[in-house]
């Protein structure tokens, strides 16, 4: 049972344009969401997070939007840069539970073309 899904395996955008990465979840107990970026041969790097009490969180070029009624979150990168090319994972957790385990999606490979 895939509780966190990233339905687009890959995305290609032009440098300077907006990149939008999407993520859907099924478990209504999830109350904290995160985005990670991963380069080959490295561990995931934390990008941005959002609590379920918010619908938007912004950090520089990165903005995460949360739509709880649709159980959907998205990561916007504006403007996209070639260095943003990587695999992006969304992750969810239920902080109200006893463990802080993260449930990850399958990842979306972003390619930013110069």
Partner 1 sequence: ETGVTQSPTHLIKTRGQQVTLRCSSQSGHNTVSWYQQALGQGPQFIFQYYREEENGRGNFPPRFSGLQFPNYSSELNVNALELDDSALYLCASSFSGGGRNEQFFGPGTRLTVL
Chain contacts with partner 1 (rule: CB under 8 A): 4, 32, 34, 36, 41-46, 49, 51, 89, 91, 93, 95, 97-107
To the nearest whole angstrom, how small is the minimum distance from the Cβ of residue 25 to partner 1?
13
For residue 92, CA distances in Å to 26, 49, 51, 113 come to: 10, 10, 10, 29
User: What does the CA dihedral 48, 82, 18, 21 come to, rounded to 10 degrees?
Assistant: -50
To the nearest whole angstrom, how small is the minimum distance from the Cβ of residue 28 to partner 1?
17
To the nearest whole angstrom, how small is the minimum distance from the Cβ of residue 77 to partner 1?
19
């Amino acid at each position: 049972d895939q509780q966190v899904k990233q339905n687009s395996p890959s995305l290609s955008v032009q440098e300077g344009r907006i990149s939008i990465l999407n993520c859907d979840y099924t478990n209504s107990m999830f109350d904290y969401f995160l985005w990670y970026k991963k380069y080959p041969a490295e561990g995931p790097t934390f990008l941005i997070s959002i609590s379920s009490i918010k619908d938007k969180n912004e950090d520089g070029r990165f903005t995460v939007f949360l739509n709880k009624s649709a159980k959907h979150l998205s990561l916007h990168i504006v403007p996209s840069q070639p260095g943003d090319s990587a695999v992006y994972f969304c992750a969810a957790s239920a902080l109200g539970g006893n463990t802080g385990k993260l449930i990850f999606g399958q990842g979306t490979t972003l390619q930013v073309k110069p």
